[in-house]
Amino acid sequence: MFSYKIFYASVLTVLFYLGLSSFTPVNPGGYVINTIVLDAGHGGKDPGAGNGREKKFALDITLKVGQKIKENFPDVRVIYTRDKDVFVPLHERAAIANRNKADLFISIHCNANTKSHVKGTETYVMGLHKTQDNLDLAKKENNVILLEEDYKKTYKGFNPESPLAHIMLANYQHAFMTQSTNFAAKVEKHFSNVGGIRSRGVKQAGFLVIWETTMPSVLIETGYLSNAEDSRVLATEKGREEIADAIFKAFEEYKK
């Protein structure tokens, strides 16, 4: 039986996506990526893994990815959470992406393990166990907009007191998860072509830096500094260039 309630909710969901998403629709089923935020993990007083090698290698790879995007997609605004060896709090990294209404957030790291035989790349998306937490937090925080003047105009009609609005918000959360996984799979696919590195696939976790973002987001572990083979690749200019190129190719494919 046809349900007008389901139809009405579906229509409003579509309007919600068009009104509140940071994506800019250009045709049915297609979106423009206007802004990307690249986050080099650790930095400054936070050395990361490998006695400071992580913060150094992560920054170098991040800057290489950014440069490739700028050269090939001059219409895309590239923002770095850090472009030198400084400490940036986790919440501020996510806040930078949120303030700039980014369409994609990429956090780049190196890994480590007490077992030296563990090797390979991993790309993480927000864990499913965190999506409900994220939604609950959003529902709680969204009530703050009621204190603002003209909040209905500012937030394009979004009403945090409406149960239907939060059904749409749940769909919005799911969209982030779907897009994040889509991009993560592309990253790991291209990593499989990097010499000396193997892909460990797409995984889920509740990393704070991607939990607090309001756009598709991934955290990339580019290899284990505790593993001799991975460490050799990451320590070379050629290795980091290949890793950066793989991330760029994933972005290029995702953007298309």
Segments making up each domain of the chain, as ranges: 4-255
Q: Are 81 and 194 in contact (CB under 8 A)?
A: no
For residue 131, name the pLDDT band (cuts at 50, 70, 90): low
Digit-coded pLDDT (tens) for 154-182: 555 566 667 776 666 666 667 789 999 99
Q: How far apart are CA 18 and CA 205, in angstroms?
A: 28
Q: How far apart are CA 250 and CA 123, in angstroms?
A: 12
Among residues 151, 46, 60, 129, the alpha carbon closest in space to that of 92 is found at: 46
Dihedral angle at the C-alpha atoms of 77, 82, 85, 89, nearest 10 degrees?
-170
pLDDT at position 18 is 41
Residue 192 has pLDDT above 90, yes or no: yes
Q: Are 97 and 37 in contact (CB under 8 A)?
A: yes
Residue 196 has pLDDT above 80, yes or no: yes
Q: Are strands 24-27 and 217-224 parallel, antiparallel or unpaired?
A: unpaired
For residue 143, name the pLDDT band (cuts at 50, 70, 90): low
pLDDT at position 5 is 40
C-alpha of 22 from chain center: 13
Query: Which residues, including other chains, have CB under 8 Å from residue 34's CB and lie 6 or more apart?
Result: 22, 24, 75, 76, 77, 103
Q: What is the CATH number of domain 4-255?
A: 3.40.630.40
pLDDT at position 140 is 54
Instruction: Please give the residue that has the higher pLDDT: either 136 or 237.
Output: 237
Predicted structure pTM score: 0.78
Digit-coded pLDDT (tens) for 16-41: 444 444 433 344 445 689 999 999 99
Tokens representing 78 are 């590239």
Q: Are 169 and 175 in contact (CB under 8 A)?
A: no
Alpha-helical runs (H) found in the chain = 4-20, 53-72, 90-99, 128-142, 151-154, 163-191, 208-211, 228-234, 237-255
Residue 235 has pLDDT above 50, yes or no: yes
Give bridge partners of residue 224 from the DSSP assignment.
111
pLDDT at position 206 is 78
Residue 243 has pLDDT above 70, yes or no: yes
Q: How far apart are CA 104 and CA 179, in angstroms?
A: 9
Among residues 41, 45, 123, the alpha carbon closest in space to that of 82 is found at: 41
